[in-house]
Structure formats: structure tokens, C-alpha cells
Amino acid sequence: MRVLLQPAFILHRRPYRDTSLLLEAFSREHGRLGLVARGAASSRSRLKSVLQPFLPLLLSWSGAGDLAALTAAEETERPASLPPAQVLAGLYVNELLVRLLPRQDPLPGLFVAYRALLAELAVATDAEPPLRRFEKRLLEELGYGLNLEREAAGGTPIVAEQRYCYVLDRGPLAADSGWSGVPISGRGLLALRDGLLADPDVLREVKRLTRAALAEQLRGRALKTRELYRVKRER
């Protein structure tokens, strides 16, 4: 199979043999891909500077299975680069996509959301609100979207002033229901539903919920970028 000039981003790259690179890419029409870029790590290769995370690219490749051969890569534009304070946020999202997206499963809506997230991070003073909105969208695209509208028992609409516990395989339940889950206010649930996350207290609640939901999908696999966040906080 030969595929020509598809919109894509590089999620991760690592050396392969002497002068090649192994790539994890996210394509709009083909989803997550494994690619080998032969000779791309050579000092004479122009691809060395092109095959970088966060750059919108057009990629061509040939072959089938889990590892195809990259045949061409072009920059489509030079976007505003992520400021140093937001690079770790971008790497965190890239690691999530590598860990959670199935191979060759087109998710064009998530691709658009990822591109929009990078644009937000390029100008954001606080990465947390756009990250939480993207985590919510990622869970939806994976088929594990959060119920942010109604109580799981009885379908009563969420009330901002009430307290809930979010049970991951059920949804939000009243805090006094006897269930064990992620504690969160109705205000937090509705704020995540609407993407309005300016309040620091709400943002902390929402982060606990999205992280718990993502941990369920990661099935115990640790994220390297979480450890980098921890080290950064301790400095």
C-alpha cells in the first residue's frame, strides 16, 4: 500500500540502527501509525529537522502492518512554536495518544482537536484548562466519554450546588449514595461539560476526574511525562 501526502503530526521519535528513526505519527485519515524513516537521522538528511513533534506535516509512506516506510515529509506551515513552559504539556498529550490510540483507526475529529490544542498551548499562560478539555475529548473519541449531564441513578439533571461522587463505570452519583468514586461538585461536572475552567477550585476537581478516567484506560501503565512533571515541581 502506498499513501501520499497525508496531514499528520509526529508524536514520538527515537533512533533506529545507525542513521534511521522510528516514528509514531498521528494522521488525520489513518490514525496512529508506526513509521521507519530510513536515513533521516543522518547529518545530511533534510528530514532530521522536519520530523519534529508539534509541526503540521504532510507525510507519505508505503507498506502495510504495524511499521510502514516513510517515503516523504513536508512542512505545511511553520506554526507558532510552543513556549518552553508548555512543551511538557505537549509531550504529555503526545504520550497519551501513543499509549491510548489504536493503530490505523481514523479519528479525524480528534486530529482537529489536537491541532487546536497545540494552537492554544502556543499562546496559553496556563496549560491546565486546554489540557482538561482535550482529555475529555480524547475519552469521548475512545468510547469512554464522561457523563456530565445527569445522575447515573434516576437521570436527575446535575445541580451545580450539590456534591457527587463519580463512579467510573457508572457516572455521577449523589455524594451520600454510599458509592466510592471521585468526589466532585456539580459545578465541576457542568464546567467540564461546557469547557469553562477558569476557576482554580473547579479545575482541581476536574483534573482529579479526568486523570482517574484516563488511568482506567492506561491500565496501570505509568506515563514518563508525569514523572517529569513531578521532578519539575520539586525543583
* pLDDT by 10s per residue, the chain, length 235: 899 999 999 999 999 988 999 999 999 999 999 999 999 989 888 898 899 999 999 999 999 888 999 999 999 887 778 999 899 999 999 999 999 999 999 999 999 999 999 999 999 999 999 999 999 999 999 999 999 999 999 999 999 999 999 999 999 999 998 899 999 999 999 999 999 999 999 999 999 999 999 999 999 888 999 888 777 777 6
Burial class (CB in 10 A: 0-12, 13-18, 19+), 65: exposed
Q: Are residues 117 and 174 in the same domain?
A: no
Q: Are residues 14 and 86 in the same domain?
A: yes
Q: What pLDDT, on the 0 to 100 scale, is given for residue 46?
A: 87
Q: Are residues 176 and 209 in the same domain?
A: yes
Cell of 186: 456539580
Q: Are residues 42 and 120 in the same domain?
A: yes
In whole angstroms, give the CA distance from residue 121 to residue 104. 26
Q: Are residues 155 and 121 in the same domain?
A: no
Q: Are residues 108 and 219 in the same domain?
A: no
In whole angstroms, give the CA distance from residue 19 to residue 43. 9
In whole angstroms, give the CA distance from residue 141 to residue 136. 9
Q: What pLDDT, on the 0 to 100 scale, is given for residue 178?
A: 87
In whole angstroms, give the CA distance from residue 91 to residue 97. 10
Q: Are residues 46 and 114 in the same domain?
A: yes
Domain count, the chain: 2
Q: Are residues 112 and 167 in the same domain?
A: no
CATH for 179: 1.20.1440.120
In whole angstroms, give the CA distance from residue 57 to residue 74. 6
The answer to whether residue 14 sits within a structural domain is yes
Residue 230's domain comprises: 146-234
CATH for 68: 2.40.50.140
Q: Are residues 21 and 116 in the same domain?
A: yes
Q: What pLDDT, on the 0 to 100 scale, is given for residue 64?
A: 80
